[in-house]
Structure formats: structure tokens, C-alpha cells
Amino acid sequence: MMKFLVTGSAGQLGREWVHFLQEKGLPFEAFNSSELDITDPNVVAEKITQVQPNVLINCAAYTKVDGAESESEKAFLVNEKGVKNLADICESTGVKLVHFSTDYVFSGSDEDRANYPEGYPEEADTNPINSYGKSKEAGEKVLRESGCDWLLIRVSWLCGRYGSNFAKTMLRLGAERDELSVIDDQIGCPSFAFDVVEKTHQLLKLEKTGIYHLSCKGKISWADFAEEIFKQSGLKVALTRISSEEYPFVAERPRFTLLSNQKAEKTGLHTLAWEKGLRQLLEQVEENRS
């Protein structure tokens, strides 16, 4: 039986892992970022020696897309140096390292959109256009170049029952307002935390290594996503579709970050339709409220 060590256990993906491992009755220990600072190699070594896991699930990350523009040093410290610390120690101890990355490692250029109309495959060249994406790309690079046994999962538009995310923000704003403006020219598809965790566990049981994309089936804009959230939750909101130029982002966002799930499907994993995934997420959010 695999024994797990989970980092970043206070975040939405880390908390989902804790929920999943508890439900499955699997042995694990989980640490939030103050308990296990992945930027400190001595702390990482101490925890791995203490826990002696077979698998380290790294959910610790700097995830503030706009904040990374002014805090790029901090973003790279966590997303690159932290990953290198984990990879180095996992290599020396024989622990498998599972790491999560993002659709924002891709540029979303018109050329890429033409070349990959059904989504970026795992082997597509990365070319991020903001500091957050560059820090995550750097983390991917040190992982690939490490000698450890690794599994890299890329997700997009991640939403879960825990923490902050687009779906929960739309639920909150939709309950407060009659009208909302949402961007309609950024195209992708959500990944739901429960689905990502379940499928990553399946890949581990299959002893897979390398890069895998885990998102839902579909091709939508943020406005499409918001519209379905309001529809499924019964919120009456007048939705105005706007362009990226009409919203004051600090960091530039790629316009196309659809991920292809073909590689995961070839291993036997079924891709979840995004509308069905949203329905399950809304049920989970409601359960957490009660």
C-alpha cells in the first residue's frame, strides 16, 4: 500500500487530497506551507525522513497570477526552487514525486490555437506570457531534469469545494448582484479538484510517469462557464460578455489554454464533461455549507 505525504495541505487541491485519502482510508500525513516550507531543503529532508512516504504529493505553490508580476522572486522561489528541493530529496530517498502545473505555461497564441484546435498536447512547446506561467514552467524544467521518479499533472481553471476559485466567486457574486460582466475571449475548460485527485491516484496505481493533462471535456469561455454556473445553481443574473481589454488585469492572460486529454484517455481514464463536473462540484459546495 502506498503511503502519502501531502504538501500545501491548506490549499484547494491539498485539502481535496486530504479529503480523498481520508475517504479511501489510505495512510498519509499532510502539512500546510507553514509546517513544511518546500523552499527550505532541510525541512523537506526532515519531513520525508520522519514520514517515510512512498509518494510525495506536492500541492504547495505560489498561485497568484497578478501578484507574481510584482513578486516574481517569491513566485520562482516556491514554484522553481521549492520543486527542485523536493525533486533532489525524492531522488535520494526513492520517493515518487507528483507535481501539479498549469495551462498558463502555454502562450495561447493564434498560431498555437490553429495548430492545436482540440487542445494542447503534453509535448507542445511551452511559452508562458506572464511571470506566474514562467515560474511554473521553470518548476516543470527542474522536475524533468531531476533524476527522481516523477509524475507531472497539468490542470486548467482549477475549481474545488475548498478555497477560492472562479466557480465559488461566481456563486457569491451571483447571490449579491443582478448583473455581472465576464470575459468571453479566453478559451479553455475547467479542471475540478475531485476529478484531478481521483485520476492522479489512478495514474499512480498504473505506475505512470511523465506529463499528463487532466481537464474536462469541452471548449468554453469564462463567460460560458459563468452562465452555466448561474443556470445550474438557479441564480438569476444578467450576464454581459466582455473582452480581456475591458477587464483591468495586472498580468496578461493567454487567450487559448485548452488542454488535450488524449494521453490520459489512452490509459483508460474517462474524460468528465465539464457540465457534469460542475454539477458535482455544486453538490459538494452545498454539502460543505450544511
Please indicate, yes or no, if residue 224 is contained in any of the structural domains.
no
Whole-prediction pTM: 0.97
pLDDT digit string (tens) for 86-136?
A: 999 999 999 999 999 999 999 999 999 999 999 999 999 999 999 999 999
Residue 152, pLDDT score: 98
Please indicate, yes or no, if residue 100 is contained in any of the structural domains.
yes
Q: What percent of the chain has pLDDT over 70?
A: 100
Provide φ and ψ at 191, rounded to 5°.
-115, 135
Residue 289, pLDDT score: 86
| Mean pLDDT computed over 138-149 | 97
Q: What percent of the chain has pLDDT over 90?
A: 98
**Structure-derived torsion over alpha carbons of residues 82, 88, 92, 98, reported in degrees to the nearest 10:** 60
Please indicate, yes or no, if residue 248 is contained in any of the structural domains.
no
The parent domain of residue 21 ranges over 4-166+189-218+258-273
pLDDT digit string (tens) for 222-274?
A: 999 999 999 999 999 999 999 999 998 999 999 999 999 999 999 999 999 99
Catalytic residues: 132
Residue 248, pLDDT score: 86
pLDDT digit string (tens) for 25-47?
A: 999 999 999 999 999 999 999 99
Residue 290, pLDDT score: 77
Please indicate, yes or no, if residue 40 is contained in any of the structural domains.
yes
pLDDT digit string (tens) for 212-234?
A: 999 999 999 999 999 999 999 99
| Mean pLDDT computed over 127-152 | 98
| Mean pLDDT computed over 66-72 | 98
Please indicate, yes or no, if residue 10 is contained in any of the structural domains.
yes
Q: Is the pLDDT of residue 6 over 90?
A: yes
CA distance to 31, 38, 179, 272, per residue, from 47 (Å): 9, 10, 49, 35
Computed on alpha carbons and rounded to an integer, the radius of gyration of the chain in Å comes to: 19
CATH of the domain at 24: 3.40.50.720
Residue 3, pLDDT score: 97
Number of domains in the chain: 1
Please indicate, yes or no, if residue 177 is contained in any of the structural domains.
no
